[in-house]
Copies of this chain bind each other. A is one copy, B any other.
């Protein structure tokens, strides 16, 4: 453990705001934190009235919000005994992804210079921009036909949210912007470049996390081959030559903080800035991810992160969003899976199907009183499609087992359980392909607030559910990267493992599987699996004629208490 008082600075670039977090290298204590909103658009997002798929960010916003929140955090830290900016051993950065932006040869975003100042196509294409839907389909089809290995490690489908879809769509709808770009960078590459004063696009260090998960980059062959990109568009193939051939893990140094930025922020020039990474991935780091521990980042949706050592070969895992060596921890495969509706699913029900103002409290209280199986209901959690393991947005919700006595609270609990069954399907798939899941650490607002959900997750998955001590695991993960990039000589850590050991922690509450509940949920999960396969298409013609009767049987037993 580092003996000197020292801090890591984490910068977390979200959809609507930036968070700065100062964490003590010795124990991870979060000594100062501040948030600043992006000034442009609606809550930081530039929309297009004509096309609801469009979502952009103005690159100028990043510098503005970053300055504001770092200075605010430093003002808080100034009150600490013995704090000095020199004690910041390194800076880490995480951002949303894929959020690519076109830049010039000097790493300047095109949207910051004439003639593109007011052009949204020259802005950053925010992760949730879906305007390149057709391009994603085109890329998926071509890859599946000619280079299945490109999409094998991202579940077989290339998304409209990702790098190449967006670049290709820009090329089609705004060729002038596309051609003016010396290169494109992910936001998590742009911020370190900005802070380190990088003015040569060739020297800009790219994140393996974004490259691997979003741009089909692979250590063995680099970016997709030029002849493959040529089939999509000759200019896309030419862009490849202006991108990168190497990418780096987030414990490595992107460069030292520039004098200009040091002055602007009140920090010390030369402070090491780590290579950036995607928010969910550093969130997993901040939650203490290690082999065998699945980190579930629970919000509107769920990101499920797992690592396995690269020393052991890992097969492609069908239906998992991405497997990239080094994307979470160096020396480990970073595996990402997820469920597209968790908090969103509960809010949909609570907000629409009860109607009374205290719906959430009442539904939760009533749902809590129910025993597993007692409602006789079962649901599929696909209201927003299925990411893992079916990778199919064209799936929808399903509810079965309702009688004339079924209540909104019973349905509410059933939806909680449905997301737990969905989580269990993911864990089963990971284990089936050799990635062990021993326990689960959850983080995000839902994890802290919804004890009923956490207990259901424990009972359904048969694994202890722990809660991350930090409520800001992404920013903490970034701060951890900063301490490793800073290194032991500056008072930081020598490795991610050492930094996590010192700086990550759990809340005291652990939700343990209860045997009786787990037994009922095992039976319900069998029915869930039948519905999953029958409707999801992975088991065409799966018989489901037992489902209603099995649910009635479980209901009868639950009500009798047997």
Interface residues of A (CB under 8 A from B): 341, 344-345, 348, 352-356, 376, 382-384, 394-408, 534-537, 540-545, 547-549, 551-552
Contacts and interface: CB of A to CB of B under 8 A. Distances in A.
13 contacts: A341-B404, A348-B404, A352-B407, A382-B548, A383-B403, A384-B403, A394-B552, A396-B552, A534-B545, A535-B544, A535-B547, A541-B542, A544-B544
A343 to B, nearest CB: 11
A397 B406 CA distance: 10
Contacts of A548: 382, 394-396, 398, 535
Copy number in this complex? 2
B535 A408 contact: no
A402 B536 CA distance: 15
A540 B545 contact: yes
Given A354-B355, A545-B534, A401 B397 contact: yes
Contact of A543 (B400, B407, B540): B540
Nearest to A544: B534
A167 to B, nearest CB: 27
B396 A400 contact: yes
A398 B396 contact: no
A407 B355 CA distance: 11
Contacts of A540: 543, 545
A164 B398 CA distance: 40
Given A353-B354, A354-B355, A394-B548, 16 more contacts: A348-B404, A348-B405, A352-B406, A352-B407, A353-B353, A355-B355, A355-B356, A395-B548, A396-B551, A397-B399, A400-B535, A534-B534, A534-B544, A535-B544, A535-B548, A536-B545
Contacts of A354: 353, 355
Nearest to A534: B544
A383 B408 CA distance: 15
Contacts of A537: 545
Contacts of A545: 534-537, 540
Contacts of A541: 541-543
B398 A400 contact: yes
Contacts of A394: 548-549, 552
A353 B399 CA distance: 14
A398 to B, nearest CB: 4
A301 to B, nearest CB: 11
A399 B411 CA distance: 12
A486 B344 CA distance: 68
A383 B402 CA distance: 6
Contacts of A535: 400, 544-545, 547-548
